[in-house]
A and B are shown apart, each in its own frame.
Chain A
Amino acid sequence: MKLRAVGIALLLSAGASGAIPVESKLSLSSGYRKGTWDTNRALATLTVRPEIGPIETTAQIWGWYNWSYRGYGTREYDVSLRASKAQYWGEHWGVSVGLQEIHWGETFGFQPIDIINTRNFRDFPFLDHGINRIPAPLAQFFYSFGAFKTEVVLNPRSEYPILPTTVRGIPVIANTPDPWLHQPEGGIKFTGYLDQANASVFVYHHINRMPILRPDFAAGGLRAAFEPVTSVGASFSSANQEWVWRGDFLMTPNHPLPSGNRKAAFAVVVGADWSPEFAEGLTLGVQAQGDGLPVDTNSENVGASFLVRKSFVNNKLQAEAQLYQSFRFMDYWMRVQLQAGLGDGWDLSVLGESSVADSRSPLSIFPQGPRVAGTLNYSF
């Protein structure tokens, strides 16, 4: 706590002194879901990147205030560090130490192998993993030899995810006293780079990232279970003229279940996106998805996800639509977003999203039904 306060004080004084370039952003967002206000939030983000000799450092702080949250009328605020890290890069190796986020996925949408940081499942903006990832104190080491790279990630203390307040109307009990939380995590990834392609394999020991909710009748709610698991995975991407091919695979052989048993859970996403030369600013993507969910019933699922992205007027207006449709469950999720640059650092984005989820699906822990939201940003 003291360290955090010192970090925030240093960051604010560095920015105020003008000694270090500061990236600042103010956002005002408002959401509406099923006849009630969703989240109304004012957010300020400040980032500085001072270099101390050969060491690159990054510090980011955010502060937000919710004047209403999901129809409860709850007023909340938070001021916290989002990043506080130091990096050094040698000729064949590099190290990055401190509070940070690490991302391993190649595909768009759910990004199943993005497992190093825990998530904020309460506010869950589906795709904005930069917001819903929770930064963790991580040490990351790189070593490269020819076209191959090795990456080791160590986390001395796993972070607690932020859980939804209710699931299907049942309260979720916060602050689960789980003996496994805050245990060390870590893993290793190998990557090979070929001509216009790269492929990786990895193994990572961690606490299960998808919360497993078990009934706690005495407490009158659902209690999340977090237990140690070991995941293995792979990813690739490859470009060929206007096409980019991508894939992610994750397998957790010993994932906990609501019943207290364990079984294998997996997710695989393979697809491509196409940015044709003749249609300026257009990208179309399609992905096949399959997963075996961590629930007690047989629940292998297959589906497809689609992406359409188009920029207009020299990127001043950007439109993006993403859709996921399951072929076996009733799972469905879509999101349409428009972002307009208003000039002088201002931009406005409007999004509409909707989801419907099978009770067996992890998607069901998030609020369902249509939601619209608008955000006004000012960067300076």
Chain B
Amino acid sequence: MLFNILALLLSPAWAALTPTEILTKADKIRNPDASFVMKVKVTSQGDSQDHVFDVSTKGNEKTIIKTIAPTRDLGRDMLMVEQNMWAFIPNLKRAVRVSLSQKLTGEAANGDISRMRWAQDYDAKIEKEDAKAWTLFLTANKQGLTYEKVRARVEKKTFRPLDAEYLTKADKVLKNAKFESYKPIAGETRPTVIAIQDAVQTDKSTRIEIESITVKDLPDSLFSVERFSSR
């Protein structure tokens, strides 16, 4: 009895966590819970031009990606609401529906910066674990997501996501991602760089750099298609 109580007291906090609980904690490391505005710089291999976006997010279902640079792409903004995504086409002055898997720039898909929480989108199971990390295998529980399956490693001690493989429905690896440069930002130590590499053409890579995160209350009306189209 005493041994059991001591074992319970001395066991680490993560000992009895379910895969979904691990994922939820990892999501909290990646992004604030509340609505926030994030400035992101995307740099791709072989592209001398940086792409800069202002990303406004509310929950996991609502995001606006606003292009800040390059100047010639100003106005090419994107709106995501649940699994729906629209792109604004400046020369037509209208928003058109696009799929979540369409490329933003380089190896970064729209979903890579518009949908940065896993727990609500995927069913998780622990594939393997070692002393340092869990390897979680995630399967999409809804249609229209950027990636059908994800294999993610989460550090046990800190719940920091370390790296991930993005897979097709047939388990073919599309891309590899590394979560790097952990720094204090918006009240938590978070990854400020996501390095994405094409799994087949390994010379193709993209670096998503989070320059700032500001927690801010955003109204639902900001994410209406009508408001997005009317500019």
Interface residues of A (CB under 8 A from B): 23, 49, 58, 87, 89-92, 94, 96, 100-103, 105-106, 108, 127-131, 133, 140, 142, 144, 149, 151, 193, 195-196, 198, 237-244, 246, 275, 277, 280-281, 311, 313-316, 341, 343-347, 377, 379-380
Q: Closest CB of chain B to A98's CB: distance in Å? A: 11
CB-based contact A133/B174 at 8 Å: no
Residues on B with C-beta less than 8 A from A101 are 93
Q: A314-B44, A380-B71 are in contact. Are A281 and B103 (CB under 8 A)?
A: yes
Residues on B with C-beta less than 8 A from A131 are 91
Q: Closest CB of chain A to B99's CB: distance in Å? A: 5
**B215 interfacial by beta-carbon distance below 8 Å:** no
Interface residues of B (CB under 8 A from A): 44, 46-49, 70-75, 82-85, 90-94, 96-103, 105-106, 143-144, 168, 174, 219-222, 224-227, 229-231
CB-based contact A314/B71 at 8 Å: no
A376–B12 alpha-carbon span in the complex (Å): 63
CB-based contact B144/A87 at 8 Å: no
CB-based contact A341/B72 at 8 Å: yes
The residue from B75, B102, B106, B222 contacting A275, defined by CB atoms under 8 A apart: B102
Q: Closest CB of chain B to A9's CB: distance in Å? A: 23
Residues on B with C-beta less than 8 A from A87 are 227, 230
The residue from B70, B85, B103 contacting A345, defined by CB atoms under 8 A apart: B70
A187–B177 alpha-carbon span in the complex (Å): 50
> Which of B47, B220, B231 has the largest count of A CB atoms less than 10 A from its CB?
B231
CB-based contact A129/B101 at 8 Å: no
Residues on B with C-beta less than 8 A from A140 are 230
The residue from A90, A151, A343 contacting B226, defined by CB atoms under 8 A apart: A151
CB-based contact A241/B72 at 8 Å: no
Taking A90-B221, A239-B144, A243-B99 as given, write out 13 further A-B residue pairs in contact, using a Cβ cutoff of 8 Å, ordered by the A residue number. Answer: A23-B74, A89-B219, A94-B221, A100-B230, A129-B94, A130-B91, A198-B97, A237-B96, A239-B100, A275-B101, A316-B47, A316-B49, A345-B70
Q: Closest CB of chain A to B52's CB: distance in Å? A: 14
> Which of A244, A281, A315, A347 has the largest count of B CB atoms less than 10 A from its CB?
A315
The residue from B90, B93, B99, B219 contacting A103, defined by CB atoms under 8 A apart: B93
Q: Closest CB of chain B to A260's CB: distance in Å? A: 35
Residues on B with C-beta less than 8 A from A377 are 72
CB-based contact A345/B91 at 8 Å: no
The residue from A90, A106, A275 contacting B98, defined by CB atoms under 8 A apart: A275
Residues on B with C-beta less than 8 A from A105 are 94
CB-based contact B98/A239 at 8 Å: yes
The residue from B48, B75, B83 contacting A196, defined by CB atoms under 8 A apart: B83
A316–B72 alpha-carbon span in the complex (Å): 10
A311–B73 alpha-carbon span in the complex (Å): 14
CB-based contact B105/A244 at 8 Å: no
CB-based contact A314/B105 at 8 Å: yes
Q: Smallest CB-CB separation from A197: which chain B residue?
A: B84
Residues on A with C-beta less than 8 A from B105 are 314-315
Residues on B with C-beta less than 8 A from A379 are 71-72, 74
CB-based contact B72/A91 at 8 Å: no
Residues on A with C-beta less than 8 A from B92 are 103, 127-130
A151–B219 alpha-carbon span in the complex (Å): 20
16 contacts between A and B (CB under 8 A): A89-B219, A89-B222, A89-B224, A92-B221, A102-B230, A128-B91, A129-B92, A195-B83, A196-B84, A196-B144, A239-B84, A240-B144, A314-B46, A341-B49, A343-B49, A379-B74
